[in-house]
Amino acid sequence: SSELTQDPAVSVALGQTVRITCQGDSLRSYYASWYQQKPGQAPVLVIYGKNNRPSGIPDRFSGSSSGNTASLTITGAQAEDEADYYCNSRDSSGNHPEVFGGGTKLTVL
Amino acid sequence: EVQLVESGGGLVQPGGSLRLSCAASGFTFSDHYMDWVRQAPGKGLEWVGRTRNKANSYTTEYAASVKGRFTISRDDSKNSLYLQMNSLKTEDTAVYYCARGMRGWSRYYYYYMDVWGKGTTVTVSS
């Protein structure tokens, strides 16, 4: 089982704001990174570190962290943002050096 | 262009072995940590393991689910990463991705995988 917990599914109306969360004890000591994956495609990095976006990622994507929870926020969601989103972090439990959350399926209505 | 291309996937019987390769181009491969991540059909991402760079003694780490069965290696002279998979189980069936690792520090440590290959499919079945 994953040491990072994500809601399995979230929906958002087109143009609205949505927050996808990731909970885990390791997030008190490590920042999460966030990946977007569309069907049949490889994951794409969208947020890393405190709140950094790789080149080419729209600025509607942002990240934050508080306590044991990391969040990915999409401000003004677009149809093309419909995808699975995964958080990832170092694991502090000692069971797995690195771990992914179970993923959140984002539906844009 | 920065690129990773996996190869070596296929159908193998339970208990068998397979070696995956990942060819890197467009960046200084030897500088980077490299990871393997897999995704079983219809499931989420699962981190498999990592090799650090020469400056960090090429040390490796593995997920508990593959430790003792899988071995990650690299050949910096060939810009290549490898995943030797032994004693394969049906639950190892997945798409296997290689990814380039990056590290940073800003109050907390962080690690991220910024370049991914398209993946290679491994099917373990009798």
Asked if pLDDT for residue A102 goes beyond 50, the answer is yes
Chain B residues bordering chain A (beta-carbon distance below 8 Å)? 35, 37, 44-47, 50, 61-64, 97, 102, 104, 106-114, 116-119
Q: Which residues pair with B106 in a beta bridge?
A: B108
Q: Find tokens 């910096």 and name the residue.
A: B76
Surface-to-core class of residue B93, CB atoms within 10 Å of its CB (0-12 exposed, 13-18 middle, 19+ buried): middle
Residue B93: predicted pLDDT = 98
In angstroms, rounded to a whole number, what is the distance separating the alpha carbons of residues B51 and B60?
A: 4
* B70, two tokens: 């899988």
Q: Does residue A1 have a pLDDT over 60?
A: no
Nearest CA in chain A to B104: A49
Q: What is the DSSP letter of B46?
A: E
Structural contact between residues B101 and B34, judged by C-beta atoms closer than 8 angstroms: yes
How confident is the prediction along chain B (126 residues), in pLDDT tens digits per residue? 999 999 999 999 999 999 999 999 999 999 999 999 999 999 999 999 999 999 999 999 999 999 999 999 999 999 999 999 999 999 999 999 999 999 998 888 889 999 999 999 999 999
Asked if residues B88 and B15 have their Cβ atoms less than 8 Å apart, the reply is: yes
Q: Which candidate from B47, B107, B117 shows the least CB-CB separation from A98?
A: B47
Mean pLDDT of chain A, nearest integer: 94
